[in-house]
């Protein structure tokens, strides 16, 4: 009995020995900065000249026109881009799951490749494509749709559309992989039985694919919501937040408040915590709406 207890204790100690370094690193590199940022969010001042301010930074956000614009932009991208991207990813995954389709590997790789592209590189590519003398304008002029090149990135509506197109291009393949993985766990005989019973491809998709992939769809919806509310690279590198802050995101504005303008770390920390709250609330709502398990 003593030997068994001794062995059990050795195993427990070995487990804690492996866990301790990772736990310490997570605590030091993640949780400690989070606590410090929370304390910082209740302080105001420029640079390192900080004083206690209570809820001043949190109330200030709702009076800040630029921050409110960034908040609206993020929710606009969330409402438009995320559903388009997820639906497109689901449709592509269903098409590429067909066992009779030739060159499936080639198509899957081609659709997934954009998300392997550097964030800065792909933003630069889209900036070049939609420039006044870019490929898109050249095509539109050749087709007779435009007489002269249109500056997409200097107009608010078109700049937002370009950013949304870029996001869909970049992340559709990423979500498609999750759906393909889920589809691999659905027996193909289910679709064959539905076909024998007279189900159309759309009925099979709506009645079989979507319900069985519901947990995966919920996962991708939560991840996409999280990512969209924290958008940074596209705003910085593709549109520069312009024109006139028309495309700026919350993370971009936080960066500006921390490093571009005179540093206001307390205000930036408060905005960061608002993003955390928004992500947590939306994830909770999506879990409650999407997960119907008892």
pLDDT confidence band for 5 (50 / 70 / 90): low
Q: Are 166 and 122 in contact (CB under 8 A)?
A: yes
- Per-residue pLDDT, averaged over 121-138, amounts to 92
- Maximum average pLDDT range among 9-13, 74-78, 199-203: 74-78
Pick from 44-53, 94-103, 251-260: least confident: 44-53
pLDDT confidence band for 45 (50 / 70 / 90): confident
Given this model, what pLDDT does residue 1 score?
45
Q: Are 38 and 269 in contact (CB under 8 A)?
A: yes
Q: Any idea of the CA torsion for 168, 238, 229, 253, to the nearest 10 degrees?
A: -170
Which pTM does this prediction carry? 0.86
Pick from 1-10, 12-21, 38-47, 196-205: least confident: 1-10
pLDDT confidence band for 103 (50 / 70 / 90): confident
Is pLDDT at 294 greater than 70 in this prediction?
no
132 C-beta neighbours (distance < 10 Å), count: 12
Output the average pLDDT for the chain: 89
Q: Could you report the per-residue pLDDT of 142-192, keeping only the tens digit for each?
A: 999 988 989 999 999 999 999 999 999 999 999 999 999 888 888 878 888
Given this model, what pLDDT does residue 47 score?
66
pLDDT confidence band for 130 (50 / 70 / 90): very high
Is pLDDT at 71 greater than 70 in this prediction?
yes
Q: Could you report the per-residue pLDDT of 241-266, keeping only the tens digit for each?
A: 989 899 999 999 999 998 888 788 89
- Per-residue pLDDT, averaged over 79-104, amounts to 90
The number of helix segments (H) and strand segments (E) in the chain equals 15, 2
Is pLDDT at 199 greater than 90 in this prediction?
no
């Amino acid at each position: 009995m003593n030997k068994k207890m001794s062995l059990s204790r050795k195993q427990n100690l070995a487990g804690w020995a492996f866990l301790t370094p990772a736990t310490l690193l997570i605590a030091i590199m993640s949780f400690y900065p989070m606590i410090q940022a929370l304390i910082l969010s209740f302080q105001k001042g420029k640079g390192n000249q900080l004083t206690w301010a209570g809820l001043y930074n949190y109330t200030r956000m709702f009076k800040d026109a630029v921050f409110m614009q960034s908040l609206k932009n993020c929710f606009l991208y969330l409402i438009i881009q995320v559903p388009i991207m997820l639906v497109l990813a689901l449709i592509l995954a269903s098409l590429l799951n067909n066992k009779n389709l030739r060159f499936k590997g080639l198509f899957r790789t081609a659709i997934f490749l954009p998300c392997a592209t550097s964030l800065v590189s792909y933003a630069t590519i889209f900036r070049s494509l939609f420039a006044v003398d870019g490929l898109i304008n050249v095509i539109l002029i050749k087709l007779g749709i435009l007489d002269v090149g249109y500056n997409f990135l200097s107009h608010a509506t078109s700049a937002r559309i370009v950013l949304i197109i870029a996001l869909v291009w970049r992340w559709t393949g990423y979500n498609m992989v999750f759906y393909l993985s889920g589809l691999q766990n659905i027996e193909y005989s289910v679709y064959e039985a539905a076909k024998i019973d007279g189900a159309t491809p759309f009925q099979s998709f709506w009645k079989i694919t979507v319900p069985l992939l519901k947990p995966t769809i919920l996962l991708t919806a939560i991840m996409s919501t999280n990512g969209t509310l924290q958008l940074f690279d596209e705003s910085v590198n593709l549109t520069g937040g312009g024109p006139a802050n028309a495309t700026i995101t919350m993370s971009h504005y936080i960066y500006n408040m921390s490093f571009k303008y005179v540093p206001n770390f307390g205000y930036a920390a408060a905005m960061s915590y608002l993003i955390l709250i928004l992500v947590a609330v939306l994830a909770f709502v999506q879990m409650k709406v999407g997960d119907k398990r008892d």
